[in-house]
Amino acid sequence: MIEVKGKNALITGSSRGIGQQTAIGLARLGCNIILHGRKKENCNETLELLKSYQVKTCVVYGDLSDENQVNDLIKQVNDLNIPVEILYNNAAWMVDYHEDIWTQTWDEWMQTMKINVFAMYSLCAAFIPGMIERGFGRVVNLSSGIMDKPQLVPYGASKWAVNKLTDDIASTLENTGVRINYIDPGWIQTDMGGKDAEHQVEDVLPGILAPALIENDGPNGEFFSAVNHDLDPDFLKGIWFTKD
């Protein structure tokens, strides 16, 4: 596994939930963090949580369902003059549960695809070329293991699209130092996952970090699982479980 100390990571949807845990995990390893929320003030709690780590932090903001705001978010990042070396496309949106599976509206479909797929593509397009030019980059797209839930079909279909998007981009990165992969965080007790989910949000660590820590010739366009991770036991003993 690689050393990420001093690297710069942009994590969408890091004001809470899985994104917040990802920020904490990377900061713990010495990675500088660019937080994102729909509004700037939404990231205040995560900023406070990161103060105990010797890393640089900053915040960008924007609604990922709005193309203009996505473009402005990208401009905010570029204006920081900080190269994005690790990109976690974590932010996502899920439609309301429909008992009648035939009542999903076009607006629900479009909102889901805008946030879960279109914005993800835009952020990849904005930052992967720079990663290729610098010879290093890690892109982690949040997928889902959701199955047999037609009541949530726009969300499930959007996550299939995430996997396909990741696979297709990966084919262009084979001879570079950039890796792109997708990860299932598991069924997590977040606002989206609900209180009946199998795992608490803290359970995504350290597995959610695995795709960011692979070597330059490591997996590309492949599936990872946060809660069933394959991290080196020496890493867990020597780094993760040491006290801060």
Tell me the percentage of the chain whose pLDDT exceeds 70. 90
Top pLDDT among 160 and 232 is at 160
Report yes or no: 29 and 8 within 8 Å, Cβ to Cβ: no
DSSP state of 184: E
Q: Give the confidence band of 197 by pLDDT, cuts at 50, 70, 90.
A: low
Q: Which fold has domain 8-240?
A: Rossmann fold (3.40.50)
Residue 27, pLDDT > 90, answer yes
Collapsing DSSP states into helix, strand and coil, what is residue 162?
helix
Q: Give the confidence band of 243 by pLDDT, cuts at 50, 70, 90.
A: very low
pTM, two decimal places = 0.92
Residue 196, pLDDT > 90, answer no
What are the structural domain ranges in the chain?
8-240
Top pLDDT among 194 and 202 is at 202
Instruction: Report DSSP letters for 134-183, one per residue.
Output: HT-EEEEEE-----S-GGGHHHHHHHHHHHHHHHHHHTT-TTSSEEEEEE
DSSP state of 75: H
